[in-house]
Amino acid sequence: MQLQLDDLALFIRIVELGTLSAAARERDVPVSQVTRALTRLEAGCAVRLLHRTTHGLSLTDEGDTFLAYARRMQDATAELDSALSGKISGPSGWVRVAVSALMAEAVVAPGLGGLYQRHPQLHLDIAADDRVVDMAREGIDVAIRTGSPASDAVVARQIGSHSRTLYAAPAYLQQFGTPQHPDDLAQHRMITSSTSAAMNRPDGRSAGVVLQGHTRADNSAVMTALVQHGAGIALLTDLMAVPLVRQGLLVPLLQSHYASPPTPIYAVMLQERHRLPKIRACVDYWQAWLADLQAA
C-alpha cells in the first residue's frame, strides 16, 4: 500500500470539514485536486472510504477504520518532526489555542511576550470564544477551560485555578454607595451572566444565593468591561479583576461574607497530541506564568 502523508492529512480535513469544497478552500486549491487525492487513497487501499451523495459525505466502515489509522500516522509524524527539530532548535511551529475571551485577556495575552521570548520559533493561532469547541474538527491543539473536563477522550492538565469576587468601579460606589451586607445588593445594579447560573452564585454553592441582574451579558470579558465603566456590580474572576484593583479601577466587595471556592483551570489536549514538544512548551509556560501571577 503506497500512501502519501499529504493525502492522509487532506483526508482527515475532508472528514473534519464535511465537504471536498471546504477542504479545497482551506488549502486554496481546486476541488479537482482534492478529488484526485481522495481517488488516490481509495485506489491505494482498494476500498471506498467515503459515501458521496447530494446530501454530503459520510464515512464507510472502511473509511472509519482508515481515519483512525490516518490520525495516528499524522500525529506520529508530527511528534517525530517536532521531537527532532526540538532537539536542534527548540519547540517550533503553530499551536492553535481555543480559549474564552476572558482567559484570552487574563492569561494568554499578558503572557504571550514571555512565551515568545522563551520559545521564539513558536506561533499561536488564538480562537477566542466562550463556547466549547470540537477540538478534532476545528484543529485545536490546546483548549484552556475552567471546571472539570467532560470527556475521557482528552488529556486534561491543571495549570492553575481562579476564584470569583464581587467588584464595582469607584465611580459607581461614589454614586450609589458601597454595600455593607449581602442584603444591600437588592438595592444595587447587578450585572449577571445570561449563560451560566454558576457565575451568578457569589458563595459558589449550587443551593446558595443567586444574584438577580439589572444588566445581563453572555460574555465574561464584557461583564468586566461593564463593571469597569461603572454600569454596576458583578461577580468577576480574580484573574481579570485583581490587576484592575491594583490600578485603582475596581474595588472588591463583601469579601468577608462571600468566599468562592477556587475553580481549576485546565489545558485540554487530544490524547494523541499532548506529548508534542510545541504543545508541552505552551502548557508548561502557562502553568508557571499562572503560579507566578497568583504568588504576586
The CATH number of the domain holding residue 34 is: 1.10.10.10
Q: Would you say residue 258 lies in a domain?
A: no
Residue 195 has pLDDT above 60, yes or no: yes
Q: Do 283 and 231 fall into the same domain?
A: no
Residue 1 has pLDDT above 80, yes or no: no
CATH code of residue 148: 3.40.190.10
Highest mean pLDDT among 100-114, 169-183, 255-269, 272-286: 169-183
The identity of residue 293, as a single letter, is L
Residue 47 has pLDDT above 70, yes or no: yes
Per the structure, the complete domain to which residue 134 belongs is given by 90-160+263-295
Q: Residue 85 — very low, low, confident or very high, per pLDDT cuts 50/70/90?
A: low
The identity of residue 253, as a single letter, is L
Q: Do 72 and 199 fall into the same domain?
A: no
Burial pattern 83-95, b for ≥16 Cβ within 10 A else e, equals eebbeeeebbbeb
The pTM of the whole model exceeds 0.85: no
Q: Would you say residue 236 lies in a domain?
A: yes
Q: Identify the pLDDT of residue 70.
A: 85
Positive or negative, the CA dihedral 98, 277, 117, 286 is positive
- Whole-number Cα distances in Å, 249 to 27, 54, 168: 46, 57, 9
Stretch among 92-106, 158-172, 242-256 having the lowest mean pLDDT: 92-106
How many independent structural domains does the chain possess? 3
Residue 145 has pLDDT above 70, yes or no: yes
Sort 284 into a burial class: Cβ within 10 Å, 0-12 / 13-18 / 19+: middle
Q: Which residue has the higher pLDDT, 199 or 190?
A: 190
**Average pLDDT over every residue of 95-109:** 88
Q: Is 26 helix (H, G, I), strand (E, B) or coil?
A: helix
Q: Residue 150 — very low, low, confident or very high, per pLDDT cuts 50/70/90?
A: low
Q: Would you say residue 31 lies in a domain?
A: yes
Non-local CB neighbours of 116 within 8 Å, separated by 6+ positions: 122
Q: Would you say residue 23 lies in a domain?
A: yes
Q: Which residue has the higher pLDDT, 84 or 275?
A: 275
Residue 278 has pLDDT above 90, yes or no: no
Query: Can you read off the three cell numbers belonging to residue 233?
Result: 456590580
Residue where a domain terminates, one of 50, 65, 84: 84
